[in-house]
């Protein structure tokens, strides 16, 4: 897991040259679409990110990126 202060960036891929297969999916919310209280409900802690990534691997998701900052929470991934 890469951690830059309060910004959390996590991915299921251990290899930077990994080339995912399948369909691309994206879901998220940000300060433009949700107030601070709503964003707080969707904030993903570092421990939760690790759990999400482990579960994603078990569920066959080939690649997943989790981004959680004070202004946004986003998940990007590839799956069959």
Query: What integer pLDDT is reported at residue 78 of this predicted model?
Result: 86
Neighbouring-strand partners of residue 25: 77
Q: Is 65 a catalytic residue?
A: no
Q: What is the pTM of this model?
A: 0.69
Q: What is the DSSP letter of 54?
A: H
Domain ranges of the chain: 2-13+35-79
Which tokens go with 68? 């959680």
Q: How far apart are CA 62 and CA 78, in angstroms?
A: 6
63 and 78 Cβ atoms separated by less than 8 Å: yes
Q: What is the pLDDT along the chain (80 residues), one digit of tens a residue?
A: 444 444 454 565 665 555 657 889 999 999 999 999 999 999 999 999 999 999 998 988 878 999 999 999 999 998 87
Active-site annotation holder among 53, 70, 76, 80? 70
């Amino acid at each position: 897991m890469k951690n830059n202060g309060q910004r959390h960036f996590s991915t299921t891929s251990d290899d930077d040259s990994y080339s995912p297969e399948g369909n691309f999916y994206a879901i998220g919310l940000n300060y433009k679409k949700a107030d601070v209280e709503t964003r707080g409900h969707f904030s993903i802690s570092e421990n939760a990110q690790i759990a999400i990534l482990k579960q994603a691997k078990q569920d066959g998701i080939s690649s997943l990126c989790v981004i959680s900052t004070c202004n946004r929470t986003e998940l990007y991934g590839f799956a069959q």
